[in-house]
A and B are shown apart, each in its own frame.
Chain A
Amino acid sequence: MHDVVAQVTSFIHLDVANVTYLFLVGFVGGLVSGFIGSGGAFVLTPGMMVLGVPGLMAVASNMCHKFPKALVGSLKRAKYGQVDVKLGIIIGISAEAGVLYGAHIQELIKKNFGNAGSNLYVSIAFVIILSVVGGFVLRDAWKTHKSGTTNDDEQVPKLARWIQSIHIPGTMMYFKSLNARISILFTIPLGFATGMLAATIAVGGFIGVPAMIYVLGAPSLMASATELVIAFVMGLGGSFKYAMSGLVDIRLAMIILGGSLFGIQLGAMGTTYVKPFMIKMVMGVIMVIVLFSRGLMVPVYLSQLGVIPEMTEMTVKILKNVSFGIMAFALGVGAFIILKAIWQGRREEKLSRQESLAHSKA
Protein backbone atom coordinates (compact mmCIF):
# COMPACT_ATOMS: atom_id res chain seq x y z
CA MET A 1 0.00 0.00 0.00
CA HIS A 2 2.83 2.38 0.89
CA ASP A 3 4.37 1.85 -2.55
CA VAL A 4 1.08 2.73 -4.21
CA VAL A 5 0.75 5.79 -1.97
CA ALA A 6 4.30 6.88 -2.74
CA GLN A 7 3.52 6.59 -6.45
CA VAL A 8 0.37 8.68 -6.32
CA THR A 9 1.39 11.24 -3.69
CA SER A 10 2.76 14.43 -5.18
CA PHE A 11 1.94 17.93 -4.09
CA ILE A 12 1.39 20.41 -6.89
CA HIS A 13 2.76 23.93 -6.77
CA LEU A 14 0.01 26.43 -5.99
CA ASP A 15 0.08 29.86 -7.59
CA VAL A 16 -2.51 32.64 -7.57
CA ALA A 17 -4.21 31.35 -10.73
CA ASN A 18 -4.56 27.81 -9.33
CA VAL A 19 -5.89 29.07 -6.02
CA THR A 20 -8.42 31.38 -7.71
CA TYR A 21 -9.57 28.59 -10.02
CA LEU A 22 -10.07 26.12 -7.14
CA PHE A 23 -11.83 28.77 -5.06
CA LEU A 24 -14.28 29.58 -7.87
CA VAL A 25 -15.00 25.95 -8.76
CA GLY A 26 -15.51 25.36 -5.04
CA PHE A 27 -17.97 28.25 -4.86
CA VAL A 28 -20.13 26.94 -7.71
CA GLY A 29 -19.93 23.37 -6.39
CA GLY A 30 -20.96 24.60 -2.94
CA LEU A 31 -23.86 26.59 -4.35
CA VAL A 32 -25.29 23.54 -6.09
CA SER A 33 -24.63 21.26 -3.10
CA GLY A 34 -26.35 23.66 -0.72
CA PHE A 35 -29.42 23.57 -2.92
CA ILE A 36 -29.77 19.95 -4.05
CA GLY A 37 -27.69 18.27 -1.33
CA SER A 38 -24.82 17.18 -3.57
CA GLY A 39 -23.51 17.69 -7.04
CA GLY A 40 -20.29 19.70 -6.96
CA ALA A 41 -17.93 16.78 -6.60
CA PHE A 42 -18.15 15.46 -10.12
CA VAL A 43 -16.52 18.60 -11.49
CA LEU A 44 -14.09 19.14 -8.61
CA THR A 45 -12.23 15.84 -8.96
CA PRO A 46 -11.51 16.19 -12.71
CA GLY A 47 -11.05 19.92 -12.06
CA MET A 48 -8.13 19.14 -9.73
CA MET A 49 -6.72 16.56 -12.10
CA VAL A 50 -6.56 19.24 -14.81
CA LEU A 51 -4.02 21.01 -12.55
CA GLY A 52 -1.88 17.87 -12.40
CA VAL A 53 -3.14 16.43 -9.11
CA PRO A 54 -2.95 12.60 -9.23
CA GLY A 55 -6.40 10.96 -9.48
CA LEU A 56 -6.46 9.31 -6.08
CA MET A 57 -5.25 12.48 -4.32
CA ALA A 58 -7.92 14.48 -6.14
CA VAL A 59 -10.60 12.06 -4.92
CA ALA A 60 -9.20 12.14 -1.35
CA SER A 61 -8.85 15.94 -1.23
CA ASN A 62 -12.32 16.38 -2.70
CA MET A 63 -13.75 14.14 0.00
CA CYS A 64 -11.90 16.08 2.70
CA HIS A 65 -13.53 19.33 1.59
CA LYS A 66 -16.91 17.62 1.21
CA PHE A 67 -17.60 16.61 4.80
CA PRO A 68 -16.95 20.02 6.43
CA LYS A 69 -18.95 21.65 3.63
CA ALA A 70 -21.83 19.23 4.20
CA LEU A 71 -21.63 19.94 7.93
CA VAL A 72 -21.99 23.70 7.44
CA GLY A 73 -24.75 23.19 4.84
CA SER A 74 -26.74 20.81 7.00
CA LEU A 75 -26.50 23.13 10.02
CA LYS A 76 -27.74 26.01 7.89
CA ARG A 77 -30.63 24.02 6.48
CA ALA A 78 -31.47 22.62 9.92
CA LYS A 79 -32.26 26.24 10.88
CA TYR A 80 -35.00 26.19 8.25
CA GLY A 81 -36.39 22.92 9.68
CA GLN A 82 -35.40 20.97 6.57
CA VAL A 83 -33.05 18.34 8.03
CA ASP A 84 -33.99 14.88 9.31
CA VAL A 85 -30.83 14.08 11.28
CA LYS A 86 -31.99 10.58 12.27
CA LEU A 87 -32.71 9.55 8.68
CA GLY A 88 -29.42 11.10 7.54
CA ILE A 89 -27.36 9.19 10.10
CA ILE A 90 -29.18 5.87 9.51
CA ILE A 91 -28.72 6.09 5.74
CA GLY A 92 -25.22 7.55 6.18
CA ILE A 93 -24.01 4.49 8.10
CA SER A 94 -25.13 2.05 5.40
CA ALA A 95 -23.77 4.46 2.79
CA GLU A 96 -20.37 4.18 4.46
CA ALA A 97 -20.49 0.42 3.88
CA GLY A 98 -21.46 1.13 0.26
CA VAL A 99 -18.46 3.44 -0.15
CA LEU A 100 -16.07 0.75 1.07
CA TYR A 101 -17.64 -1.92 -1.14
CA GLY A 102 -17.73 0.45 -4.14
CA ALA A 103 -14.04 1.26 -3.67
CA HIS A 104 -13.28 -2.47 -3.48
CA ILE A 105 -15.16 -3.11 -6.76
CA GLN A 106 -13.20 -0.26 -8.34
CA GLU A 107 -9.91 -1.80 -7.22
CA LEU A 108 -10.92 -5.19 -8.63
CA ILE A 109 -11.88 -3.70 -12.00
CA LYS A 110 -8.68 -1.68 -12.13
CA LYS A 111 -6.62 -4.75 -11.32
CA ASN A 112 -8.26 -6.87 -14.01
CA PHE A 113 -8.96 -4.35 -16.76
CA GLY A 114 -6.56 -1.46 -16.04
CA ASN A 115 -7.31 2.25 -16.04
CA ALA A 116 -9.39 2.13 -19.23
CA GLY A 117 -11.59 -0.63 -17.76
CA SER A 118 -12.05 1.33 -14.57
CA ASN A 119 -12.90 4.52 -16.47
CA LEU A 120 -15.34 2.63 -18.69
CA TYR A 121 -17.08 1.19 -15.60
CA VAL A 122 -17.39 4.69 -14.10
CA SER A 123 -18.72 6.17 -17.34
CA ILE A 124 -21.24 3.38 -17.88
CA ALA A 125 -22.42 3.73 -14.25
CA PHE A 126 -22.84 7.47 -14.93
CA VAL A 127 -24.77 6.89 -18.15
CA ILE A 128 -27.12 4.22 -16.75
CA ILE A 129 -27.87 5.93 -13.41
CA LEU A 130 -28.18 9.40 -14.85
CA SER A 131 -30.37 8.38 -17.76
CA VAL A 132 -32.75 6.29 -15.64
CA VAL A 133 -32.88 8.34 -12.42
CA GLY A 134 -32.11 11.74 -13.97
CA GLY A 135 -34.68 11.22 -16.72
CA PHE A 136 -37.31 10.20 -14.16
CA VAL A 137 -36.60 13.15 -11.84
CA LEU A 138 -36.60 15.68 -14.67
CA ARG A 139 -39.80 14.24 -16.16
CA ASP A 140 -41.52 14.45 -12.77
CA ALA A 141 -40.39 18.05 -12.23
CA TRP A 142 -41.48 19.01 -15.73
CA LYS A 143 -44.89 17.38 -15.24
CA THR A 144 -45.39 19.31 -12.00
CA HIS A 145 -44.34 22.53 -13.72
CA LYS A 146 -46.73 21.94 -16.63
CA SER A 147 -49.66 20.83 -14.48
CA GLY A 148 -49.71 24.14 -12.62
CA THR A 149 -49.68 22.37 -9.25
CA THR A 150 -46.33 23.80 -8.15
CA ASN A 151 -47.90 25.44 -5.11
CA ASP A 152 -49.61 22.27 -3.89
CA ASP A 153 -48.14 20.09 -1.15
CA GLU A 154 -46.04 17.27 -2.52
CA GLN A 155 -47.89 13.96 -2.71
CA VAL A 156 -46.31 10.82 -1.25
CA PRO A 157 -45.58 8.54 -4.26
CA LYS A 158 -47.33 5.16 -4.51
CA LEU A 159 -44.15 3.16 -3.90
CA ALA A 160 -43.39 5.18 -0.77
CA ARG A 161 -46.97 4.73 0.49
CA TRP A 162 -46.56 0.97 0.06
CA ILE A 163 -43.21 0.95 1.88
CA GLN A 164 -44.66 3.03 4.71
CA SER A 165 -47.50 0.52 5.03
CA ILE A 166 -45.22 -2.48 5.58
CA HIS A 167 -44.65 -3.40 9.22
CA ILE A 168 -41.62 -5.55 10.04
CA PRO A 169 -41.47 -6.06 13.83
CA GLY A 170 -38.31 -4.92 15.56
CA THR A 171 -37.12 -2.80 12.63
CA MET A 172 -39.64 0.05 12.62
CA MET A 173 -38.47 3.59 13.23
CA TYR A 174 -40.24 6.96 13.08
CA PHE A 175 -38.74 9.62 10.80
CA LYS A 176 -39.99 13.19 10.99
CA SER A 177 -39.30 13.89 7.31
CA LEU A 178 -41.64 11.05 6.33
CA ASN A 179 -44.05 11.68 9.21
CA ALA A 180 -44.32 7.90 9.31
CA ARG A 181 -42.70 4.79 10.72
CA ILE A 182 -40.80 2.68 8.23
CA SER A 183 -38.63 -0.40 8.51
CA ILE A 184 -34.93 0.50 8.52
CA LEU A 185 -34.46 -2.61 6.37
CA PHE A 186 -35.62 -0.41 3.46
CA THR A 187 -33.11 2.32 4.23
CA ILE A 188 -30.12 -0.06 4.23
CA PRO A 189 -30.09 -0.88 0.48
CA LEU A 190 -30.78 2.77 -0.36
CA GLY A 191 -27.85 3.92 1.77
CA PHE A 192 -25.64 1.19 0.38
CA ALA A 193 -26.49 2.20 -3.22
CA THR A 194 -25.84 5.88 -2.33
CA GLY A 195 -22.42 4.97 -0.96
CA MET A 196 -21.55 2.77 -3.91
CA LEU A 197 -22.44 5.56 -6.29
CA ALA A 198 -20.41 8.03 -4.23
CA ALA A 199 -17.39 5.72 -4.49
CA THR A 200 -17.96 5.29 -8.22
CA ILE A 201 -18.97 8.70 -9.59
CA ALA A 202 -18.34 10.87 -6.48
CA VAL A 203 -21.98 12.03 -6.23
CA GLY A 204 -24.01 9.69 -4.05
CA GLY A 205 -26.81 12.23 -3.87
CA PHE A 206 -27.92 11.38 -7.40
CA ILE A 207 -29.28 8.16 -5.86
CA GLY A 208 -29.77 9.27 -2.26
CA VAL A 209 -32.05 12.27 -2.89
CA PRO A 210 -34.40 10.63 -5.45
CA ALA A 211 -34.52 7.50 -3.24
CA MET A 212 -35.61 9.53 -0.20
CA ILE A 213 -38.25 11.31 -2.31
CA TYR A 214 -39.69 8.49 -4.41
CA VAL A 215 -38.99 5.38 -2.33
CA LEU A 216 -39.32 6.64 1.25
CA GLY A 217 -41.70 9.54 0.63
CA ALA A 218 -39.68 12.50 1.98
CA PRO A 219 -40.50 16.01 0.68
CA SER A 220 -37.91 17.28 -1.85
CA LEU A 221 -36.58 20.03 0.42
CA MET A 222 -36.08 17.63 3.32
CA ALA A 223 -34.53 14.95 1.10
CA SER A 224 -31.95 17.35 -0.34
CA ALA A 225 -31.15 18.77 3.12
CA THR A 226 -30.89 15.31 4.70
CA GLU A 227 -28.51 14.27 1.91
CA LEU A 228 -26.04 16.76 3.42
CA VAL A 229 -26.04 14.74 6.65
CA ILE A 230 -25.42 11.57 4.64
CA ALA A 231 -22.59 13.32 2.76
CA PHE A 232 -21.08 14.40 6.09
CA VAL A 233 -21.13 10.86 7.52
CA MET A 234 -19.79 9.33 4.29
CA GLY A 235 -17.23 12.06 3.73
CA LEU A 236 -15.86 11.93 7.27
CA GLY A 237 -15.29 8.16 7.14
CA GLY A 238 -13.91 8.29 3.59
CA SER A 239 -11.57 11.19 4.35
CA PHE A 240 -10.19 9.43 7.39
CA LYS A 241 -9.57 6.29 5.33
CA TYR A 242 -7.67 8.26 2.68
CA ALA A 243 -5.83 10.36 5.27
CA MET A 244 -4.61 7.16 6.94
CA SER A 245 -2.77 6.51 3.68
CA GLY A 246 -1.52 10.11 3.49
CA LEU A 247 -3.49 10.87 0.33
CA VAL A 248 -5.21 14.11 1.40
CA ASP A 249 -3.70 17.38 0.13
CA ILE A 250 -5.14 19.57 2.85
CA ARG A 251 -4.18 22.78 0.97
CA LEU A 252 -6.38 21.85 -1.99
CA ALA A 253 -9.21 20.71 0.28
CA MET A 254 -9.19 23.93 2.31
CA ILE A 255 -8.96 26.24 -0.71
CA ILE A 256 -11.96 24.53 -2.31
CA LEU A 257 -13.69 24.67 1.07
CA GLY A 258 -12.95 28.41 1.17
CA GLY A 259 -15.07 28.94 -1.96
CA SER A 260 -17.65 26.27 -1.29
CA LEU A 261 -18.62 27.62 2.14
CA PHE A 262 -19.63 30.89 0.46
CA GLY A 263 -21.60 28.87 -2.08
CA ILE A 264 -23.27 26.44 0.27
CA GLN A 265 -24.67 29.20 2.48
CA LEU A 266 -26.18 30.85 -0.58
CA GLY A 267 -27.52 27.57 -1.99
CA ALA A 268 -29.09 26.68 1.37
CA MET A 269 -30.78 30.12 1.56
CA GLY A 270 -31.96 29.61 -2.01
CA THR A 271 -34.11 26.66 -0.93
CA THR A 272 -36.27 29.00 1.16
CA TYR A 273 -37.22 31.04 -1.93
CA VAL A 274 -38.22 28.25 -4.30
CA LYS A 275 -41.09 25.86 -4.70
CA PRO A 276 -40.15 22.25 -3.84
CA PHE A 277 -40.29 21.02 -7.45
CA MET A 278 -37.32 23.30 -8.25
CA ILE A 279 -35.05 20.94 -6.30
CA LYS A 280 -36.07 18.13 -8.66
CA MET A 281 -35.77 20.44 -11.67
CA VAL A 282 -32.20 21.54 -10.89
CA MET A 283 -31.15 18.00 -10.01
CA GLY A 284 -32.76 16.52 -13.15
CA VAL A 285 -31.25 19.16 -15.45
CA ILE A 286 -27.74 18.64 -14.04
CA MET A 287 -28.04 14.85 -14.21
CA VAL A 288 -29.20 14.82 -17.82
CA ILE A 289 -26.49 17.25 -19.01
CA VAL A 290 -23.78 15.27 -17.18
CA LEU A 291 -25.13 12.14 -18.84
CA PHE A 292 -24.07 13.52 -22.23
CA SER A 293 -20.67 14.49 -20.86
CA ARG A 294 -19.91 10.96 -19.67
CA GLY A 295 -21.59 9.34 -22.67
CA LEU A 296 -19.03 11.08 -24.91
CA MET A 297 -16.20 9.34 -23.10
CA VAL A 298 -17.55 5.79 -23.51
CA PRO A 299 -16.14 5.36 -27.08
CA VAL A 300 -12.73 6.58 -25.87
CA TYR A 301 -12.48 3.88 -23.20
CA LEU A 302 -13.93 1.24 -25.54
CA SER A 303 -11.19 2.04 -28.05
CA GLN A 304 -8.52 1.90 -25.33
CA LEU A 305 -9.79 -1.57 -24.41
CA GLY A 306 -9.66 -2.62 -28.08
CA VAL A 307 -13.43 -3.22 -28.32
CA ILE A 308 -13.75 -0.67 -31.15
CA PRO A 309 -11.03 0.60 -33.57
CA GLU A 310 -8.37 2.82 -32.01
CA MET A 311 -8.99 6.58 -32.02
CA THR A 312 -6.44 9.21 -32.94
CA GLU A 313 -4.83 11.16 -30.12
CA MET A 314 -6.45 14.33 -31.38
CA THR A 315 -9.97 12.79 -31.33
CA VAL A 316 -9.44 11.56 -27.77
CA LYS A 317 -8.21 14.98 -26.68
CA ILE A 318 -11.19 16.74 -28.28
CA LEU A 319 -13.68 14.32 -26.72
CA LYS A 320 -12.05 14.71 -23.28
CA ASN A 321 -12.14 18.50 -23.46
CA VAL A 322 -15.73 18.61 -24.73
CA SER A 323 -16.76 16.14 -22.01
CA PHE A 324 -15.17 18.28 -19.26
CA GLY A 325 -16.70 21.41 -20.81
CA ILE A 326 -20.20 19.88 -20.77
CA MET A 327 -19.72 18.85 -17.14
CA ALA A 328 -18.70 22.37 -16.15
CA PHE A 329 -21.67 23.66 -18.18
CA ALA A 330 -24.02 21.37 -16.21
CA LEU A 331 -22.79 22.87 -12.95
CA GLY A 332 -23.02 26.37 -14.45
CA VAL A 333 -26.63 25.82 -15.54
CA GLY A 334 -27.53 24.53 -12.07
CA ALA A 335 -25.87 27.55 -10.44
CA PHE A 336 -27.64 29.92 -12.84
CA ILE A 337 -31.09 28.46 -12.07
CA ILE A 338 -30.41 28.72 -8.31
CA LEU A 339 -29.11 32.31 -8.45
CA LYS A 340 -32.02 33.35 -10.67
CA ALA A 341 -34.50 31.75 -8.24
CA ILE A 342 -32.92 33.60 -5.30
CA TRP A 343 -32.94 36.90 -7.18
CA GLN A 344 -36.57 36.49 -8.24
CA GLY A 345 -37.66 35.34 -4.79
CA ARG A 346 -35.98 38.31 -3.12
CA ARG A 347 -37.49 40.72 -5.62
CA GLU A 348 -41.00 39.34 -5.13
CA GLU A 349 -40.60 39.52 -1.36
CA LYS A 350 -39.39 43.11 -1.58
CA LEU A 351 -42.33 44.08 -3.80
CA SER A 352 -44.85 42.45 -1.50
CA ARG A 353 -43.26 44.23 1.50
CA GLN A 354 -43.53 47.56 -0.31
CA GLU A 355 -47.15 46.83 -1.22
CA SER A 356 -48.12 45.96 2.34
CA LEU A 357 -46.31 49.10 3.57
CA ALA A 358 -48.25 51.19 1.06
CA HIS A 359 -51.51 49.54 2.20
CA SER A 360 -50.80 50.19 5.86
CA LYS A 361 -49.96 53.84 5.11
CA ALA A 362 -53.18 54.20 3.11
Chain B
Amino acid sequence: MAAQEQHARKKPVVPMLLAGAVSIALYVALMTNQDFINNTFAKGGLYAFLPIATAFIFSFIHGSFTGHFWTVLGVEASKKKKEVK
Protein backbone atom coordinates (compact mmCIF):
# COMPACT_ATOMS: atom_id res chain seq x y z
CA MET B 1 0.00 0.00 0.00
CA ALA B 2 2.78 2.35 1.01
CA ALA B 3 4.68 1.49 -2.15
CA GLN B 4 1.58 2.22 -4.20
CA GLU B 5 1.15 5.61 -2.55
CA GLN B 6 4.80 6.42 -3.16
CA HIS B 7 4.39 5.43 -6.81
CA ALA B 8 1.29 7.65 -7.10
CA ARG B 9 3.22 10.58 -5.61
CA LYS B 10 5.88 10.17 -8.25
CA LYS B 11 3.38 10.76 -11.03
CA PRO B 12 4.04 14.07 -12.78
CA VAL B 13 0.62 15.60 -12.12
CA VAL B 14 1.87 19.17 -11.68
CA PRO B 15 4.09 19.20 -14.81
CA MET B 16 1.18 17.67 -16.74
CA LEU B 17 -1.23 20.37 -15.56
CA LEU B 18 1.28 23.13 -16.35
CA ALA B 19 2.08 21.81 -19.82
CA GLY B 20 -1.63 21.16 -20.40
CA ALA B 21 -2.57 24.72 -19.44
CA VAL B 22 0.08 26.20 -21.76
CA SER B 23 -0.95 23.80 -24.52
CA ILE B 24 -4.62 24.82 -24.21
CA ALA B 25 -3.60 28.49 -24.21
CA LEU B 26 -1.64 27.93 -27.44
CA TYR B 27 -4.61 26.23 -29.10
CA VAL B 28 -7.01 28.94 -27.91
CA ALA B 29 -4.66 31.60 -29.30
CA LEU B 30 -4.47 29.71 -32.61
CA MET B 31 -8.23 29.28 -32.96
CA THR B 32 -9.23 32.77 -31.86
CA ASN B 33 -6.82 34.50 -34.22
CA GLN B 34 -7.47 32.35 -37.29
CA ASP B 35 -7.84 35.19 -39.80
CA PHE B 36 -4.67 36.98 -38.72
CA ILE B 37 -2.70 33.69 -38.62
CA ASN B 38 -3.98 32.49 -41.99
CA ASN B 39 -3.13 35.80 -43.65
CA THR B 40 0.30 36.16 -42.07
CA PHE B 41 1.55 32.57 -42.10
CA ALA B 42 0.59 31.97 -45.74
CA LYS B 43 2.45 34.98 -47.09
CA GLY B 44 5.28 32.74 -48.22
CA GLY B 45 8.95 33.67 -48.51
CA LEU B 46 10.61 34.33 -45.18
CA TYR B 47 7.23 34.11 -43.44
CA ALA B 48 7.77 30.34 -43.86
CA PHE B 49 9.66 30.46 -40.57
CA LEU B 50 6.39 31.23 -38.74
CA PRO B 51 4.61 27.88 -39.34
CA ILE B 52 7.87 26.00 -38.79
CA ALA B 53 8.54 27.77 -35.47
CA THR B 54 4.90 27.25 -34.44
CA ALA B 55 5.20 23.52 -35.15
CA PHE B 56 8.32 23.30 -32.97
CA ILE B 57 6.70 25.22 -30.09
CA PHE B 58 3.53 23.10 -30.18
CA SER B 59 5.53 19.88 -30.39
CA PHE B 60 7.61 20.86 -27.36
CA ILE B 61 4.70 21.99 -25.15
CA HIS B 62 1.98 19.61 -26.30
CA GLY B 63 4.46 16.72 -26.62
CA SER B 64 5.48 17.26 -23.01
CA PHE B 65 1.81 17.35 -21.96
CA THR B 66 0.88 14.13 -23.80
CA GLY B 67 3.94 12.33 -22.39
CA HIS B 68 2.98 13.27 -18.81
CA PHE B 69 -0.68 12.56 -19.56
CA TRP B 70 -0.07 8.85 -20.26
CA THR B 71 2.32 8.57 -17.31
CA VAL B 72 -0.30 10.03 -14.96
CA LEU B 73 -2.86 7.59 -16.37
CA GLY B 74 -0.43 4.79 -15.54
CA VAL B 75 0.32 3.87 -19.15
CA GLU B 76 4.08 3.48 -19.32
CA ALA B 77 6.67 1.58 -21.30
CA SER B 78 7.39 -2.01 -20.35
CA LYS B 79 9.75 -2.32 -17.40
CA LYS B 80 11.09 -5.59 -18.76
CA LYS B 81 12.89 -4.53 -21.92
CA LYS B 82 13.86 -0.95 -22.26
CA GLU B 83 16.71 -1.41 -24.68
CA VAL B 84 17.08 -3.09 -28.01
CA LYS B 85 20.11 -5.29 -28.40
Contacts and interface: CB of A to CB of B under 8 A. Distances in A.
B8 interface: no
Contact of A250 (B41, B69, B75): B41
A65 interface: yes
Interface residues of B, number: 40
Contact of A64 (B45, B55, B69, B76): B55
Interface in B36-61: 37-38, 41-45, 47-52, 54-56, 58-59
B62 A258 contact: yes
B70 A269 contact: yes
Interface string A1-40: 0100100010100100000000000000000000000000
B38 A245 contact: no
A261 B77 contact: no
Contacts of A248: 41-42, 51
A269 B45 CA distance: 39
B26 to A, nearest CB: 8
Contacts of A14: 31, 34
B78 A349 contact: yes
B23 to A, nearest CB: 8
A254 B42 contact: no
Which of A236, A262, A345 counts the most B-chain CB atoms under 10 A from its CB?
A: A262
B51 A81 contact: no
A261 B42 contact: no
B76 A262 contact: no
A79 B83 CA distance: 8
A153 interface: yes
B84 interface: yes
A68 interface: yes
A164 interface: no
Which of A5, A80, A250, A253 counts the most B-chain CB atoms under 10 A from its CB?
A: A250
Nearest to A83: B84
Contacts of B83: 80-81
Contacts of A266: 70, 75
B21 to A, nearest CB: 15
Interface string A290-327: 00000000000000000000000000000000000000
B52 A251 contact: no
Interface stretch (A69-77, A96-104, A203-211): A69-77
B46 to A, nearest CB: 8
B30 A250 contact: yes
Contacts of B37: 250-251
Contact of B30 (A65, A79, A251, A272): A251
B42 A153 contact: no
B79 interface: yes
Nearest to A239: B52
Given A14-B34, A80-B82, A250 B54 contact: yes
Contact of B55 (A5, A79, A245, A254): A254
A82 interface: yes
A54 to B, nearest CB: 12
Nearest 4 CB-CB pairs, A to B? Answer: A68-B59, A243-B48, A246-B44, A81-B83
